[in-house]
Copies of this chain bind each other. A is one copy, B any other.
């Protein structure tokens, strides 16, 4: 059966994902009573920086309608010139028949901003964090204690107190330099998150930050001011680890956003200003409804 015929028979059941950044849409539906998934992603403009001025505005834009203007700024909506071969408007991918696993991959969760006071941390979050240890972070212990993935280590300092392992994050393709993404996992096991840090850790953190920068810049031929170095709160696992990303990285999901990421430089500076900053400070962050903490914190 050809793809056009399949698409014509597609009956929408549910919108699985709307991505306003990449202009994508994922739909779950039925074709002949079997599950199917259709994914749209609008195409990028095909102009290139090298191929300057070899076209006219009219080659791209069919017509416009003004929304508003102020001084030298005008904003409008427009219709694009489209052509199936030269300028298609969208990619269309179909998975048919789709399995449960395909469907789950696309389901999105609603996010909420949470204001976690020191008291909420003590009473609700700290007890939750304790339940997240043991087997759940076995894969972390495999890396730091059993040299799992050691073939990809960028740096490995085995000092049990100050040491850490620096390695490529799974999200990085290890090719695209703009998207460089490493993770540093510390060897000591007594820090679950930023909430456990105080001024006694300043030298320790400064040492790690210095070595992260040195090792990364040596391995990938970069300058130290080209790195965005941060932690997550909430982290995805409760063993202290640090994200190391090219400052040119455009972001992926919400992992670089304020309200999730905290610069390691800011952590050190805050501890210098106030020794128990992270025990006293209300932390504001986004949390998805599928995160187990959401059920605990929402009331």
The segment from A91-99, A125-133, A189-197, A234-242 found at the interface with B is A91-99
Q: Are A55 and B12 in contact (CB under 8 A)?
A: yes
Q: Which residue of B lies closest to A81 (CB)?
A: B89
Q: Which residues on B sit within 8 Å (CB–CB) of A138? A: 71
- A164 interfacial contact with B, CB 8 Å: no
Closest B residue to A76 by CB, please name it.
B92
A45 engages B25 (CB within 8 Å): yes
Once the chains bind, are A94 and B74 in contact (CB under 8 Å)? yes
**CB contact list, A1-57 vs B, under 8 A:** 2-4, 6-8, 10, 12-15, 17-25, 27, 29, 38, 40, 42-45, 47-49, 51-53, 55-57
* CB within 8 Å for A52 and B15 given contacts A25-B45, A89-B78, A91-B77: yes
Q: Is the C-beta of A217 less than 8 angstroms from some C-beta in chain B?
A: no
Alpha-carbon distance A151/B281, docked complex (angstroms): 40
Instruction: Assess whether B66 is in contact with A18, with CB atoms less than 8 Å apart.
Output: no
Asked if A259 and B74 make an inter-chain contact with CB atoms under 8 angstroms apart, the answer reads no
Report whether A74 and B257 are in contact in the complex, using a CB–CB cutoff of 8 Å.
no
Closest Cβ neighbor of A24 among chain B residues? B45
Contact in complex: A73, B93 (CB < 8 Å): yes
A2 near B230: Cβ-Cβ < 8 Å: no
* A75, B47: Cβ atoms closer than 8 Å: no
- Interface residue SS majority, chain A: mixed
Contacting pair B259 A112 (CB below 8 A): no
User: In chain B, what residue has the closest Cβ to A148?
Assistant: B70
Min distance, Cβ A237 to any Cβ of chain B, angstroms? 13
Q: A124-151 CB contact bits vs B (8 Å, 1 = yes)?
A: 0000000000000011001100001101
Check B82 against A12 for contact (C-beta < 8 Å): no
CA–CA, A72 and B142, complex, Å: 12
- Nearest 6 pairs of A and B residues by beta carbon: A77-B88, A80-B89, A258-B261, A25-B45, A20-B44, A21-B250
Measured CB to CB, the nearest residue on chain B to A232 is B258
Most buried by B among A29, A227, A250: A250
The verdict on A152 contacting chain B, using a C-beta distance below 8 Å, is yes
Bound Cα distance from A228 to B257, whole angstroms: 10
A79 close to B (CB within 8 Å): yes
Q: Are B3 and A18 in touch, CB under 8 angstroms?
A: no
Known contacts: A79-B82, A113-B228. The answer to whether A18 contacts B42 by CB under 8 A is no
On whether the beta carbons of B64 and A40 are closer than 8 Å, the reply is no
Residues of B within 8 A of A174 (CB): 67
Return chain B residues, CB-CB under 8 Å to A57.
7-8, 10, 12, 27, 29, 38
Q: Is A248 an interface residue (CB 8 A)?
A: yes
Which residue of B18, B42, B77, B108 is within 8 Å of A23 (Cβ)?
B42
* Contacting pair B247 A80 (CB below 8 A): no
